Structure 1
Amino acid sequence: MKSNFSAGKSFASFCLLMLLFVPLISACKTNIGSSSSSSSSNNGPTNLTLWTVPSAGEVGNPPPNWFLIKDVHDKLNINLKVTFLPYGDDGDTKMNAAAAANDLPDFFQVPSNNNIFLQWVRQGLIAPVDSLLPLMPGRTKDRYNDPQMQKIATINGKQYVLQEKTVLNKRQGLLIRKDWLNKLGLKEPKTLDDLLKVAEAFTRNDPDGNGKNDTYGFAATTGVSSPGLGGGWQAFFGAYGLPGVWNFNTPGKISLSLRDPGYLKVVQFLRKMADEKLIDPAWPTLSTNDFRAGWKQQGKYGIISEDFCAAQCQANYQSFDTNFPQGDWEPLAPPQGPNGQSFLGASNNVGLRIAVSKKALDEGKGPAIAKFLEWTNTGEGYYETAFGQKGVHYTFDAQGNVTGQGVPVPFYSHEAAPINQIRNLVYKNTPAELKARYNSFKTKNGRTIDPVKIYDAFASFPWQDQTAAFVIQPASNQADINRYVDENLVQFITGQKPLTDASWNSFIKGLDGLNVSDWEAQANKQLKDGGFIK
């Protein structure tokens, strides 16, 4: 009896053990290399990690009980964890560290530094996204069907980026104090010579009427991310057909704009403006905050280069309106050069870029990622991600358009900013959406400002499309090239270095020591390989 009992006990134990193991074996087979999402057994929620830049970094992160996270869980069966990246180089550093540890998030906003992203592709850390497109037909139709953007996203025949075409790609332009023009009896400048005369009057003829010598004709910030002065100065170089870093004016070939004789002409023009103190002397080191304080609080600039919303959206304009209620900034067309050329800047159609890690696709998370992106593209998911909770942060007007009027915490208020920190991932930039985001308002003296019309004015001016330049990879010594060019331009314009044909030619020859010709040759090859030039 004892022997039979032992045998029966052993058999029962074996059966119990098998009952425990079979679900585990089945679960392993489902998750490894399958198309199903990586989740707990019994169809539990999929865990997804998203890294992105916040829409407004200065206002803080969403609250711990963020309603969006709960709704994504309840409605999509997804546990979404969002990590917000620092702006600029700090964000790139964080992403690079994750890539080095093979720990990239499941999906993420591609860094602005395309070179490091291409390295991740070469290292096999990034998954092609072609298989996701049919899983989100609405979003694919609305956002990912532009042929030029498909070229940008394609590497070795596979699409590695969910690439959108931007709509608001002409945001920065020239603005002029129309009230100063009226007071001094001047007309808007049309040419570089006209602009010089107006800048002189704005600097010397006391346009603000305070009896002090405290105004300047022009001001803008400089940039250090590429060789040159940055976007704030492109309109000057555009007068010679050279608004961007690259000169696209020769069919089938590009070169650095600074090699063109017209570039020297512009530097000479800016040197004259600087010599006559028509530009704020602090311009080489002028921070964005100090620049904006200069025109908002101090009212000392007559012409500026600024983002349309930073200048004319209600919250941003309020300080200027309080300090200068009679002030009036108006869009200014880019000045024409001696041959009638003019470009406000170099435009780029590359918009939002989302990538998926290979690890996430290998774990079967592709369908969940597509499900989330499709949900945020339209209907409830779109409105909630872009604007917040209906009745709290937004509602609809009689025409069915989004509005923040009549709700406790309007989506455009400072208080609401933390709850829609990933809105840039879902914005569509339709006319109705732009009207909601950039609402018109009345100034203290009764004028109506419509920021969308300001943008439309900027966009209506001539621009040179340099989208193709996006595929040009930085030189291995890009920081050295940028530093050499920027330092010399500042020295030429401020008078620290003589500006003659000989000194300029010496500067250009100095590029050879940095192997700039090799970079230009590589750039031409990259454009030809991508089908952007023949």
Structure 2
Amino acid sequence: MRFVMHRQANHKEGRPMLIRKTILTAMAAITLAGTAAACGSTEPKEPPSGGTGSSPTASPDSGKDKTYKITMYNLATFNPNAPVLPREQDPVRQMIEKAMNIDLEMMIVPEQASAKLNTLIASGEVPDLIYFGNRTTSVKYYEQGVTAELDDYLKNAPALVQHFGPSRWEPMRYKGKTIGIPGTEGVAGINGLWIRNDWLNSLNLKVPTTPEELFEVMKAFTFNDPDRNGKNDTYGFAPGITKEGTLANLGWDQMFWMFGVNPGNFDVVDNKLVSHNLDPRMKEAVAYANKLLSEKVVDPDWVTLNTVPQVQDKLFKGRSGVVVTDWRSMEPGAQQKMKETIGEVPDWIVIPPMKGPHGDQINSYDVFQNAQWAVSKKAAGDPGKVQRIVDLLQYMYTDKEAYKTIVYGIKDVTWKETNGKPEMIALDSVQSKNYEWLGHYRFPRRANDDIYFNFKNPKTVEYHAINRKYLKPNNVMPYIVLDPNDVLAQDREKYWNEMLLKFMTGKEPLAKWEEFVGTLNAKFKAGEQLEKVTRQLKEQGIIR
């Protein structure tokens, strides 16, 4: 295996990569990688055993006696700035190559990867296996004739097909053909509804289950001195609003989802497009938000909470009883921050979303499987090579023994086995630095792999399970793209956001809601937008 490494910005899982350093040439990067590896303390190790029969590693038609050279354009690395090791010092690389009988050349590239990829394509050096971070890009290269269809090869990789659920495979298909294989799984159910359980007990209240019960709890948290300090210094709910004036991902979403709608979203119901903005249920949701604000159960700082960390900070400060935030919010690091901020660790718990008046019980959208691997048409000139590539992904994602090394790292160094169960080992800063290179391989990690995420609070697993249980399929919104011919798109969105806030805050009476919807249709052509979106979804096969 040979690595070609270009300097790439580091990124956290589930967040876009940020450019930190300029791209280096391939030769300079290889030199740097070799130097970094030589300076590290990692000793060469025998390759771990893999391919133990726990799941298929190669199909019968892949010509397994032939060694294939496979080039992988790897944007899936979790540590793009990490050094790469020479083959003799890289036991993971040795394991993969030995199990799959391949010579793997992995290219690690910066965020401006499309320019580099286009250069390779123009020069005729198209990588065999290419990672695309989103479906739109994958479709573009397929339509340009760069990548191949994979249905015939997947027939020989049943373990890989079964590894991912139908919702993960759906975005891999385009015009009836499978053009990709799921890449890194996005983590679903990250945010959930947190509530002060100690305040519930203090006020002799039960965990709310409906919008009305939630309102009554928020009201009690605001006015009934739940912390018993004799001060009027608490609030029921602490959401936020983006600097652009939208309500997405800062707490208000869960309030709207109780009514089955969310601002700016679309659904397909009975094969017909439905705009949430124009749905009568939106008025009910806005009326509920207005009620929370007019009854003053919302933390008045909400208009200045413009980021996720600012909203989460309300959980650390403990002055608000309901916050929508991250699944890890009672992990040791967060608890320590609470101690430092308010001198104690409040009894925060995650509860299921409220069941709304129409029977909806939604936490958020399920994650859309954007990331995918594609195989080049150049590689497809050799069917045996394509099958080996598919088998390689099947091995990396599904072989139970190999998965431990690929995802957890080196046994008894980065993970150990306790009572037959893998457990991550806490590394000091030097050790962590020495094993950063493992991030180049970890993309097969499962989105619900609690061992990989290394939770310290056992309750975190339970909280994440609650969040995941109430996810709405995200099978419409990701397929919609902005129509460049929709000249009213920006003005329509601006008008919607401004009026929504006016209705919520009472600056505009709800009695004018129907008039507002009429303006959306007449002046801002919301009906024409529906027609254009419907055409898009028909082209994608979402509406038939």
SS in 2 for 1:334: coil
* Letter paired with 2:220: A
Q: Report if the CA contact (8 A) 1:48-1:78 is conserved.
A: yes
Q: Report if the CA contact (8 A) 2:133-2:372 is conserved.
A: no
Cα distance change, pair 194–264 in 1 and its aligned pair in 2 (3 A) = same
Query: Which residue of 473, 493, 509 maps to 2:481?
Result: 473
Superimposed CA distance per residue, residues 220-263 of structure 1 (whole angstroms, 9 cap, x where no aligned partner): 34569998634733332233232575454842312211212221
Report the equivalent of 2:461: 452
Report the equivalent of 2:226: 207
Report the equivalent of 2:82: 62
**Structure-2 separation of matches of 1:118 and 1:371:** 23
* Letter paired with 1:493: M
Query: Which residue of 107, 111, 118 maps to 1:81?
Result: 107
Q: Report if the CA contact (8 A) 1:72-1:78 is conserved.
A: no
Q: Report if the CA contact (8 A) 1:347-1:467 is conserved.
A: no
Superimposed CA distance per residue, residues 314-342 of structure 1 (whole angstroms, 9 cap, x where no aligned partner): 444443366564411222233344x3533
Report the equivalent of 2:323: 304
1:496-515 residue pairs with structure 2 within 5 A? 497-502=507-512, 505-506=515-516, 509-510=519-520, 513-515=523-525
Report the equivalent of 2:32: none
Report the equivalent of 2:453: 437
Cα distance change, pair 517–121 in 1 and its aligned pair in 2 (3 A) = farther
* Letter paired with 2:324: S
Report the equivalent of 1:492: 503
Percent identity at matched positions?
21
1:306-345 residue pairs with structure 2 within 5 A? 306-308=325-327, 310-320=328-338, 323=342, 325-337=344-356, 339=357, 341-345=359-363
Aligned length: 463
Query: Which residue of 241, 249, 260 maps to 2:260?
Result: 241
Report the equivalent of 1:127: 148
SS in 1 for 2:75: strand
Report the equivalent of 2:418: 397
Query: Which residue of 94, 101, 112 maps to 1:71?
Result: 94
**Structure-1 separation of matches of 2:301 and 2:128:** 44
Q: Report if the CA contact (8 A) 1:190-1:336 is conserved.
A: yes
Report the equivalent of 2:133: 111
Superimposed CA distance per residue, residues 437-482 of structure 1 (whole angstroms, 9 cap, x where no aligned partner): 35453xxxxxxx4222112223445x54342444333433566654
Cα distance change, pair 101–481 in 1 and its aligned pair in 2 (3 A) = farther
1:217 maps to 2:241: no
**Structure-2 separation of matches of 1:81 and 1:479:** 39
Return 5+ residue gaps in structure 2 as ranges. Answer: 1-60
Cα distance change, pair 374–189 in 1 and its aligned pair in 2 (3 A) = closer
Report the equivalent of 1:353: 371
Structure showing greater radius of gyration is 1
Cα distance change, pair 492–52 in 1 and its aligned pair in 2 (3 A) = farther
* Higher normalized helix content (fraction of residues): 1
Superimposed CA distance per residue, residues 365-391 of structure 1 (whole angstroms, 9 cap, x where no aligned partner): 745643542342225542222111111
Report the equivalent of 2:72: 48
* Letter paired with 2:133: P
Cα distance change, pair 456–74 in 1 and its aligned pair in 2 (3 A) = closer
Q: Report if the CA contact (8 A) 1:50-1:105 is conserved.
A: no
Return 5+ residue gaps in structure 1 as ranges. Answer: 1-34, 86-93, 442-448
CA RMSD of superposed structures (Å): 4.2
Cα distance, 1:217 vs structure 2: 1.5
**Structure-1 separation of matches of 2:322 and 2:224:** 15
**Structure-2 separation of matches of 1:391 and 1:340:** 53
SS in 2 for 1:255: strand
Q: Report if the CA contact (8 A) 1:237-1:243 is conserved.
A: yes
**Structure-1 separation of matches of 2:391 and 2:291:** 58
Report the equivalent of 1:190: 209
Scaled by the length of structure 2, the TM-score of the pair is 0.71
Q: Report if the CA contact (8 A) 2:237-2:320 is conserved.
A: yes
Report the equivalent of 2:445: 427
Query: Which residue of 180, 194, 205 maps to 1:161?
Result: 180
Deviates more, 1:215-224 or 1:449-458: 215-224
Cα distance, 1:178 vs structure 2: 0.4
**Structure-2 separation of matches of 1:397 and 1:291:** 38
Report the equivalent of 1:271: 290
Q: Report if the CA contact (8 A) 1:206-1:215 is conserved.
A: yes
* Letter paired with 2:103: N
